[in-house]
Amino acid sequence: MRFVQVGCGKMSAFTVRYALERNAELVGAYDVAADKVGRDVSAVVGGEALGVKIEHFDDLDASMKRVQADIAIITTQSLLKTVYPTVEILARNQVNGVSICEELFYGWDSNPGVAGQIDVLAKANGVTFTGSGYQDVSWGSMVTALVATAASADLIHGISSYNLEDYGLETAAQHGAGLSLAEFDDRILKVNNVSAAEQAKLIAAGDFLPGYMWPVNGWLASALGLTVTKRTQRGVATTHTEDLYSQTLGKTIPAGQPTGLKTIVEYDSVEGVKIVTECIGNVFAPGERDLNEWLVKGEPDMRLSMDSPATVEMTCACAVNRMPDVIAAPPGYVTSEKMPALAFRRAF
């Protein structure tokens, strides 16, 4: 399997290594950072030189015509509309793609316009695009497996927290970390806490800003065969009682100012099953840890909790293990609940 790495930030250090360990062949790597372009990929992932130099993203199209890749691992943006230019270049060069872009996990509810464009483009060029990562199992198939052990389920409630220091500036910006409370209200809450009518307008225009759990609710509803009747989202700022330094932001966040965002997404369904998810992404204070917890209310009530999950490593391993499924899937934008359950791969 010949693959390229699009985005050579923190996450690529894991995705490249994991793919190489499974005997995939790296044939290209791309970034926009001037201090990375021209250097061997080993400068990012460590170890001995790999003989592949990082090229500028602007050269992606020309490079795809040269390297003849089977699939791309995309670790850049978090939204469909921002990752679309990458998808378009790859699709027109008949290269499949798997991405940790959170909205790509299930983009049909938040940006159906761009989701449809990706689907049409991928089908026209005989390739497949999928969103994967931590959510593929920890917020996806692990949850549906838990629900499958119930005789009835009225409420599925997920709570997940993660440290923004692990993910880079793009993710920190999406969560409003380091903004003032006034800036947070203007840039983050105004696009999260909107009326149902305004939400529908934003979605239709492709301008809705979904929390990371919004696609998860859609993925779960699709996987469980639910008919959704109502979708709501609201956000609140997370804060800390003391000054908190962020390495990612390169500055100190004053006490009482936003360290990140807590987003609550609720889906109601015709079948009476309610899905509620709480996603908490913030700059961690000393002693805070990642958490992933799911509660099912029904017969019987159940609780599944993962204490301190290795979110970064799991995100990257899921995306890499999903690569063969993407290549084997029918062309289009195929979300992973329509693929086989994710499996551990020793080699490709």
Sheet containing 291-299: order of strands: 228-238, 260-269, 274-282, 152-163, 291-299, 302-307
pLDDT digits 0-9 by tens, 44-101:
888 889 999 999 999 999 999 999 999 999 999 889 999 999 999 999 999 999 999 9
Determine, yes or no, domain membership for 314: no
Among 290, 283, 236, 287, which residue's Cα sits nearest to residue 255? 283
Residue 260's domain spans which residues? Answer: 135-308
Mean pLDDT of 248-266: 96
The predicted structure's pLDDT at residue 2:
98
Q: Are residues 274 and 334 in the same domain?
A: no
Q: Are residues 122 and 140 in the same domain?
A: no
C-alpha to C-alpha distance for 57 and 77, rounded to whole angstroms: 13
Per-position DSSP letters for 209-274, written without gaps between them: ---TTHHHHHHHHHHTT--EEEEEEEEEEE--SS-EEETTTTEEEPTTS--EEEEEEEEEETTS-E
Q: Are residues 170 and 278 in the same domain?
A: yes
Dig out the tokens for 201 from the structure. 């307008």
- Placement of tokens 């220091």 in the chain: 165
Q: Are residues 144 and 277 in the same domain?
A: yes
Residue type (1 letter), 144: T
Determine, yes or no, domain membership for 345: no
Please count the structural domains in the chain: 2
Determine, yes or no, domain membership for 274: yes
pLDDT digits 0-9 by tens, 180-222:
999 999 988 987 898 999 999 999 999 998 988 999 999 999 9
Among 71, 32, 34, 38, which residue's Cα sits nearest to residue 54? 38
Statement: residue 170 has pLDDT above 90: no
Q: Are residues 280 and 156 in the same domain?
A: yes
Contact in structure between 111 and 141 (CB atoms under 8 Å):
no
C-alpha to C-alpha distance for 311 and 137, rounded to whole angstroms: 11
Q: Are residues 177 and 298 in the same domain?
A: yes
Determine, yes or no, domain membership for 346: no
C-alpha to C-alpha distance for 19 and 1, rounded to whole angstroms: 9
Q: Are residues 124 and 195 in the same domain?
A: no
